Amino acid sequence: MIKPEKPKDEGARLEALRRYHILDTPPEQAFDDLVQIATTICGTQMGAVTLVDQDRQWFKARKGVGATETPRDFAFCAHAILSPHQLFTVENAEADARFIGNPLVTGSPHVRFYAGAPLLGSEGQALGTLCVFDDTPATLNEEQRQALEALSRQASHLMELRRVAHALDNQLRERDWYEQQLAQYSESLETLNADLTEQTRTDVLTGLPNRRAFAAALTGELEREEGAALPLSVAIIDIDHFKTINDLHGHDQGDEVLVALAGLLRAHIAGRGMIARLGGEEFVMLLPGAAAEPARLQCEFLRQEIALLPINLPVTVSIGVAELQAGEAPDQCLKRADLALYQAKREGRDRVVVSEIAKAHA
């Protein structure tokens, strides 16, 4: 095991950490939420917001870890803060000379994989990390790396907000200044919470709403449309032979196709309606006020637009459409649209198929 070096500006770094008045404070939901989002995105069992003190690593938030702190000499995060502006990763600690014999590797929690994005103070010092780790070797893809770095910036911003709040407490005698700063703090905190909510409802690659956001929108739209006695349709869109695109041209080209298609869909639905990414190469479109036939015509037009995407690759889609029926649950309508999509695939792809109620109940 190789003990981590200390940053060249260690004295200034520790002084900056003290100014945040955060060490040994109780858990806070906002930090816990960041760890939950990070582990979900990166697919790990464990994660933490850590702060590297003089002789210890202390956890402000943690998931899957019992201890509240560990000696600094054993801390993976003590290595991560040596490179303040880049993600630090260890794919297999058992095969890394820096961590062979490390008690966190040989004993609980048996760390094998680690990725930590430094938390930067207002003057640029690395005070700790937002990190994810697991007891099996792993790697992060580019989307996961970018997401972890983005979440670490949010954690740094949270710490800065706490520092401002502490300063405000020392300025109670200057009432006007205090009220102005408190208003700014509250606004920043609301913005941060909105950003965190957005991250749980937004697809990282395309920027479109994800499955969770679409489900909430569909339920809300159903309540509005039922009150107005208006029709409502959904359409599921699947890129034909997308695996072949990835296999022949690489995943980067596949991602470009997804991003280009997302942009076209966003422009197509501008105004009334919603588009979301269900996952993989599947997208879903909500069409308020549209019965089955108008929805089919709109999807036919969309299918032709997609075939003309300027991405130097022939791209076609199959689309399944279903109109919500009286008394039908939203997930039943989505299931019928999905069945119509698979019918479109069976019939040769690059086409639109509308769900038929009689067939759905057969």
CA 270 to chain centre: 24
Catalytic residues: 281
SS3 sequence of 195-263: HHHHHHHECCCCCCECHHHHHHHHHHHHHHHHHHCCCEEEEEEEECCHHHHHHHHCHHHHHHHHHHHHH
Q: Are 61 and 27 in contact (CB under 8 A)?
A: yes
Give the list of residues 6+ apart from residue 33 with CB closer than 8 angstroms, or none: 196
Tell me how far apart the alpha carbons of residues 285 and 236 are, in angstroms, rounded to a whole number. 6
Integer CA distances (angstroms), 248 to 241, 242, 304, 308, 314, in order: 11, 10, 24, 20, 13
In the chain, DSSP finds a helix count (H) and a strand count (E) of 12, 11
List all residues 6 or more positions away from 123 whose beta carbon is below 8 Å from its beta carbon. Answer: 12, 16
**Planar angle of CA 236, 204, 207, nearest 5 degrees:** 65
C-alpha distance from residue 207 to each of 191, 247, 334 (Å): 18, 24, 22
Look-up of token digits 């009220």: 179
